[in-house]
Copies of this chain bind each other. A is one copy, B any other.
């Protein structure tokens, strides 16, 4: 299955047959002068050279320039190398969005290492599994997570070098090693002579998917893909020079959708944010002139469900990239009214984060607010660097009709797809079956080629033989004036097999009964799709703001 090697073989065989006669293939090989492996590390080198005095990072009262940013990253690379680590060694980091994790995105791969950013919501068992599976050699950990990391290290078989981040902005937590991150940087050489990867296919990062069943899978990114993902987001979002970017999206989530690299490429200012909450976000907007941010729909909820004092700080035109789960149309409409310029993107850990975006069409501007929100809720079309995106029948791999109604599985192919799952060849092979990456997401494709997610394969409800998209039902629930948040899952049913069960959180000061909600749905949707059960309670969420549907499914089963 080595396509790259196969290409090379084809080429060699071809040369014997015909290329040998083709002057375009003779004496025109790659050399040091005209070839370099693609890597996003060069973005920092370039920005430090071109914008040395521009502000690269802000964290509380602390900020530094691109010259200092580069200096610190080279120190980090050097310090890690002095610990005996080299090419292909894993460095794990457990931290919120603070300078150390930003710097790790450059410092670790600069010495040949692979960055493994850990999800800060994980428990000790999951962390221990990851440290072992990743064969972690060095761990950088923030004091806020000392308890869980100490427990994880106890359970793990690996015995990494441990470095504590003693962030002045942190509250509580003790230190668990003898070396702080700042002291560690002091051991490094700011003139460390890093080289890029010898091959652009070499690993740069390792991200574990938050699998809901079984052990997490380790998704491997390579330098080429990270470069193309970063320049891809720059093109799709039309990133200007020197944006001021607020870190509302966790950097442990698909390496912050590769924005540590993308923002650095355009010489932007990274505004760190230890605690992601409405007050902090709006304060950063007011204090630093933030003009770009990313996040799951939870971020949108924070922005719109807050006091007027916060909202007054909103800068009209601030660009917001949202993904992870389809934002309800009602939420998008509210964002629109606040003046935020929302771009809806879609991707998975396996696609370096966003690889699909709802590329806005000029003629959509004339639509009603509701219609615009519905269009914006589509996942959309592929990034430039993704060569294939379609909705296919998962068995035959034939495209479904472009009718906006027939469901199939979203499949992607091309340079924005991961290198594969670490030490998991069978799952890698399965997920790449037939030359497509199988996302596991169900969608329809519209006549204009824009895809719209209907569900995760495992989330779909089958009631009386009919498929029901939980996303469609949730979209309607969000239109009910009393509903703040909603999630729909399947509830086992003797007669129908499954029926939709809605979990709903009401707005402060609002009220609605189960009957109200069901009646509202029956007035606006085919009856078989309407919830048969409505439960009022807070929704359990993952660290990235996704509703944990497996928890709700469990509850629905036991109702």
Binding site for B on A (CB under 8 A): 1-5, 7-8, 10-11, 14, 18-19, 22-38, 42-43, 46, 49-51, 87-88, 114, 135, 196, 198-199, 201-203, 206, 220, 231, 234-235, 238-242, 265-266, 359, 361-362, 381-382, 384, 387, 413-415, 417-420, 422-423, 425, 428, 431-432, 435-437, 449
Point out the residue from B31, B42, B87 that lies within 8 Å of A432, measured CB to CB: B31
Q: Contact between A24 and B202 (Cβ–Cβ < 8 Å)?
A: yes
A206 to B114, CA, bound (A): 40
Q: Which residues of B lie under 8 Å from residue A423 when comparing CB positions?
A: 23, 26-27
Point out the residue from B25, B201, B359 that lies within 8 Å of A50, measured CB to CB: B359
Residue of A34, A199, A361, A362 ringed by the most chain B CB atoms within 10 A: A34
How often does this chain occur in the complex, in copies?
2
Q: Which residues of B lie under 8 Å from residue A19 when comparing CB positions?
A: 88
Point out the residue from B24, B37, B422 that lies within 8 Å of A422, measured CB to CB: B24
Q: List 6 A-B contacts (CB under 8 A).
A: A8-B199, A11-B198, A24-B419, A27-B425, A28-B419, A231-B231
Q: Contact between B1 and A88 (Cβ–Cβ < 8 Å)?
A: no
Q: Contact between B413 and A27 (Cβ–Cβ < 8 Å)?
A: no
Assuming the contacts A42-B384, A241-B238, A265-B235, asked whether A4 and B33 have C-beta atoms less than 8 A apart, the reply is: no
Q: State how many angstroms separate the Cβ of A448 from the closest Cβ of chain B.
A: 8
Point out the residue from B23, B25, B37, B432 that lies within 8 Å of A135, measured CB to CB: B23
Q: State how many angstroms separate the Cβ of A452 from the closest Cβ of chain B.
A: 15
Q: Contact between B198 and A7 (Cβ–Cβ < 8 Å)?
A: yes
Residue of B nearest to A267 (CB): B359
Q: Which residues of B lie under 8 Å from residue A42 when comparing CB positions?
A: 384, 387
Q: Contact between A31 and B199 (Cβ–Cβ < 8 Å)?
A: no
Q: Which residues of B lie under 8 Å from residue A240 when comparing CB positions?
A: 238
For the complex of A and B, list the 6 residue pairs with the smallest distance between their C-beta atoms, beginning with the closest: A4-B30, A32-B435, A2-B29, A34-B417, A33-B432, A27-B425
Q: Which residues of B lie under 8 Å from residue A26 when comparing CB positions?
A: 423
Q: State how many angstroms separate the Cβ of A202 from the closest Cβ of chain B.
A: 7
Q: Which residues of B lie under 8 Å from residue A241 when comparing CB positions?
A: 238, 359
Q: Contact between A231 and B235 (Cβ–Cβ < 8 Å)?
A: yes
Q: Contact between A34 and B413 (Cβ–Cβ < 8 Å)?
A: yes
Known: A24-B202, A31-B435, A36-B387. 14 other contacts (CB 8 A): A4-B35, A5-B29, A7-B37, A19-B88, A33-B417, A33-B435, A34-B415, A34-B419, A36-B413, A46-B384, A50-B381, A238-B240, A238-B241, A241-B359
A432 to B28, CA, bound (A): 11
Q: State how many angstroms separate the Cβ of A205 from the closest Cβ of chain B.
A: 10
Q: Contact between A49 and B381 (Cβ–Cβ < 8 Å)?
A: yes
Q: Contact between B28 and A220 (Cβ–Cβ < 8 Å)?
A: yes
A231 to B229, CA, bound (A): 12
Residue of B nearest to A435 (CB): B32
A206 to B28, CA, bound (A): 13
Assuming the contacts A33-B413, A50-B381, A413-B34, asked whether A24 and B432 have C-beta atoms less than 8 A apart, the reply is: no
Q: State how many angstroms separate the Cβ of A549 from the closest Cβ of chain B.
A: 27
Q: Which residues of B lie under 8 Å from residue A36 when comparing CB positions?
A: 387, 413-415
Q: Which residues of B lie under 8 Å from residue A265 when comparing CB positions?
A: 235, 384
